[in-house]
Structure 1
Amino acid sequence: MISLHFLITAFVVVLAPGTGVIYTLALGLGQGPRAAVWAAFGCTIGILPHLAAAILGLAAVLHASALLFQAVKIAGVLYLLYLAWQMVRADGALSVSAASPTQQSGLRIAQRGALINILNPKLSVFFLALLPPFLSGDATSATLEMVVLGTIFMAMTFSVFVLYGLFAAQARTLILGSNTVVKWLNRSFAALFAALAARLAMERA
């Protein structure tokens, strides 16, 4: 069940930059290590509903229901565009600044991170495709095996995202010395969120 193949596959998937990574990097760079850890935690918690959907078979329902898939997708697209707007606003919650960062509530940071993943309908379908090939084939233990594999995937997600975020926090003092750099960083992060929203908008069930 817990094979080297699964561990490598999961690690490669987690390591690939996506919306959660971009969010964690932005928080680490803009607000420091504490915010990065909360961002990583939130993104990880946002995986739980999709993992549960895959285990309970609801992911197949989401995949089969074009209306439900579109509804979740549209909500996800709008949320990513909102995050992009928060990056470019001077007083935005995600805006990177050379000034000492305002310490936001850890729970608020985690909530935003969780919503990023919760509002991505492809994650449920992803788990439905990722986990079954690594099961032992014993129907009586399939649910437990999916829980174990999903838990390992979440632990990897949290660990890798924290490392990404702490790296960004360390780079903060080196990068944020120039107002021009800060301005272009915010624009770049906003563009990334907008691009990810566009990609999500093109996804099909």
Structure 2
Amino acid sequence: MNFIPETPVLLAYVAGVVVITLTPGPDMTFFIGRAIAQNVHAGLAAFGGALVGIVFHSLFVAFGLSALIVASPALFTAVKIAGAAYLGWLAFDAIRHGSTFQISEKSQNPRSMFSNWFQGLAINLLNPKIIIFFMTFLPQFVSTADPYASGKLLFLGTLFVLIAMVILVPLIALAGQFAAWMKENPKVTRIVDYLFAGIFGAFAVRILFTERG
């Protein structure tokens, strides 16, 4: 099929995606946190939102839309500030309410599946580092002179989603098993709240210092 890269290129891509997927980031921190805080379905919903974000990024790359963001200082800055502000808000909310890892009995209003899904999507779409990653990573495996370049980029983006599902769905399922233990240890959950806030705060700072190009 014309949209499938040659085997050596495909194997190199798969190896790269596996390493990237296993590297912790804002997405992984969030949906695993939701699995622990609420249940496995909440974690999967957040993960589903992140996957939709990956699909959007793949489409942006395939049709050249991400290039506009990277090329435009004003648009890039707007996305960067929005992403950092959103992660910063999640960090603040975790300290104030313990909303992400709060699994004690007083939590009577768990987030809806749509809320978890939407937050996973927002964290993914509002991170300019992901935009830059897809702009620089996917094109390495497709020649600009290839007449089927757009189709191959879409294929690689879809493959990224499938690999992420194979690796991360089991991790989310296992994360949910810690919920019962953490309910019996409220001090631990509060420590995790601060850890979560620290991680997301660090990601927010890193996003602010992300450069174009």
- Give the TM-score of the pair, scaled to structure 1: 0.91
Between the aligned partners of 1:182 and 1:125, the Cα distance in structure 2 is 34
Residue 137 of structure 1 deviates from its aligned partner by 6.6
Which residue in the other structure is 2:82 paired with? 75
Which residue in the other structure is 1:113 paired with? 120
Q: Deviations over 1:41-96 (max 9, x none)?
A: 01111122221221111222221211111100000011001111221233x54242
Between the aligned partners of 1:86 and 1:168, the Cα distance in structure 2 is 21
Q: Which range moves more in the overlay, 68-77 or 158-167?
A: 158-167
Q: Which range moves more in the overlay, 24-33 or 44-53?
A: 44-53
Between the aligned partners of 2:172 and 2:108, the Cα distance in structure 1 is 15
Contact 2:44–2:169, Cα closer than 8 Å, also in 1? yes
Matching residue within 70, 83, 98 for 1:63? 70
Between the aligned partners of 2:197 and 2:166, the Cα distance in structure 1 is 25
Q: 1:165 to 1:188 in 2, by over 3 A?
A: same
- How many pairs were matched up? 204
Task: Map 1:43-54 to 2 at 5 A.
Answer: 43-54=50-61
Percent identity (aligned): 30
SS at match of 1:98: coil
- Give the TM-score of the pair, scaled to structure 2: 0.88
Q: 1:172 to 1:103 in 2, by over 3 A?
A: same
Matching residue within 17, 26, 31 for 2:24? 17
**Structure 1 residue runs without a partner (length 5+):** none
Aligned partner letter, 1:73: K
RMSD: 1.9
Matching residue within 91, 104, 126 for 1:98? 104
**Structure 2 residue runs without a partner (length 5+):** none
Between the aligned partners of 1:171 and 1:104, the Cα distance in structure 2 is 19
Residue 138 of structure 1 deviates from its aligned partner by 5.9
Instruction: Flag as ranges the 4+ runs of structure 1 deviating above 6 A.
Output: none
